[in-house]
Structure 1
Amino acid sequence: MSNSAKKLILASTSIYRRELLERLRIPFDVISPKVDETPLPGESTLELALRLAKAKAAAVAKDHPEAWVIGSDQVADLHGAAIGKPGNFERAMAQLQLMRGATVIFQSALCLMKGDAETTVNVPTEVTFRMLSDDVLEAYLHAEEPYDCAGSAKSEGLGISLLESIKSNDPTALIGLPLIVLSGLLREAGFVIPAKK
């Protein structure tokens, strides 16, 4: 069966995840999942990322039982505390000051679902931030404006200059969608990557 005969949906509002999925050159639709992303009491960052990835896929899959649905979520973990999307300059600055010289684990969870079939995995990325002055952090924020990125450090852009090191089995996980794992799951589901011309 060709890829065009299979329906694939990305359950996401993230332009970054959409751009990443486009790399695989498979036709897909994008539907915004309606999911409350509030952490549960006592929930770890890993549990939160996995739960939200599955919830996003499930929210869209229930209305599209014929489709394979991708849900994904990322939570930045600093010493066990979740660091979310800052939303504005002040919160982004506070995040970067807090993470200065520290190691942050980015939990990048992924769920592929169709009907009762579901696989949910997590790809952690260990990121160590440089010790940089407030002036450098401020200049970065004004240049990049990464207010919609967990942890404020957009590694695919200028944010890479804030980092000392990145350790991961999948370089795309840090951007928000682990394509190495996802391409394996899609092949198992019958998608052809790369597609035949």
Structure 2
Amino acid sequence: MSTTPLAGIDLVLGSTSRYRAELLARLTPRFRQQAPGVDETRVPGEAPATLAARLARAKARAVAARNPGSVVIGSDQVAALDDQVLGKPGEAARAEAQLAACSGRRVVFHTALCLADARGAEVRLHEAADTTEVLFRRLDAGEIRRYVEREQPLDCAGSFKSEGLGITLFERIDNADPSALVGLPLIALCRLLRAAGIVPL
């Protein structure tokens, strides 16, 4: 297989997330962002890992269809407390309630990745998944309130930012790729790029 440098690719991040953009910028400054416009409604009974994989694939396909000749990155993350999916809180009261529910418990983050290679006649998909387990400390109402006031994690699944002050909420993090918890697993992404004949370095 012939290889192409990453800098020579029309790379599109199928997400408007600034967190994912900041991670991707660690690999290359040359990429575009585009909203996938995908319905993210969970199918009744759908497992969190299955939901993340389905949405990552749908996002990559949707953006690739609008950008022939490009390589598109689709990613999705689902946080689960037991079987309950923790969405983005959107408001302080919901963020505080989420963190109170997570206190002293283990939350699993399923991060799915799909690379859609639209450079040929047919779109080729390369997929990967990462699982991160976060064990929360026992948190009291005062520190939860102060955390939410200070960091405003209202657009983050699970109501925290692990790359910021959210790290103070945890007892431990178990994962293979630290970047996955932020929303874009870079180790897996590099592996998928190489599988598509694209050299990250």
Q: What band does the TM-score fall into relative to the shorter chain? A: over 0.9
Further displaced range: 168-177 or 3-12 = 3-12
Verify: 1:130 aligned to 2:130, yes or no.
Answer: no
Counterparts of 1:98-113 in structure 2, within 5 Å, are 98-113=101-116
Q: Distance in 2 between matches of 1:103 and 1:125?
A: 10
Percent sequence identity over matched residues? Answer: 51
Structure 1 residue corresponding to 2:81, chosen from 78, 83, 105: 78
- Deviations 1:52-105 (Å, cap 9, x if unpaired)? 101111110011121110000001010011000000100000100100000000
Structure 2 contact 126–196 (Cα < 8 Å) conserved: no
Give the deviation of 1:25 after TM superposition: 1.9
Alpha carbons 1:3, 1:26 under 8 Å: kept: no
Q: Give the alignment's TM-score, normalised by structure 2.
A: 0.93
Match of 1:169 in 2: 176
* Cα distance in 2 between the residues matched to 1:3 and 1:19: 17
1:190 alignment counterpart:
197
**What is the SS of the residue equivalent to 1:187?**
helix
Q: 2:41 aligns with which of 14, 38, 42?
A: 38
The match for 1:23 is 26
Q: Which amino acid aligns with 2:69?
A: E
How far apart, CA to CA, are the structure 2 residues paired with 1:154 and 1:6? 31
Gap runs ≥5 in structure 1? none
Equivalents in 1 of 2:192, 2:30: separation in Å? 16
Q: Residue 192 of structure 2 aligns to a residue in which SS? A: helix
Task: State which of 45, 50, 61 in structure 2 corresponds to 1:47.
Answer: 50
2-side partners of 1:27 and 1:52: how far apart? 24
Matching residue within 57, 61, 67 for 2:60: 57
Determine if contact 2:78/2:110 at 8 Å carries over to the other structure: yes
Cα RMSD for the two superposed structures: 1.1
1:157-185, Cα deviation, whole Å (9 max, x unpaired): 00000011000010000000000010111
TM-superposition CA deviations, 1:21-50 (whole Å, max 9, x none) = 000025111111101111011111111100
Q: CA deviation at 1:191?
A: 2.6
- Which 5+ residue runs of structure 2 have no aligned equivalent? none
Give the counterpart letter for 2:41 in structure 1: T
Report the equivalent of 1:121: 128
Rounded Cα–Cα distance in structure 2 between residues aligned with 1:162 and 1:149: 15
Task: Give the stretch that moved more between structures: 21-30 or 51-60.
Answer: 21-30
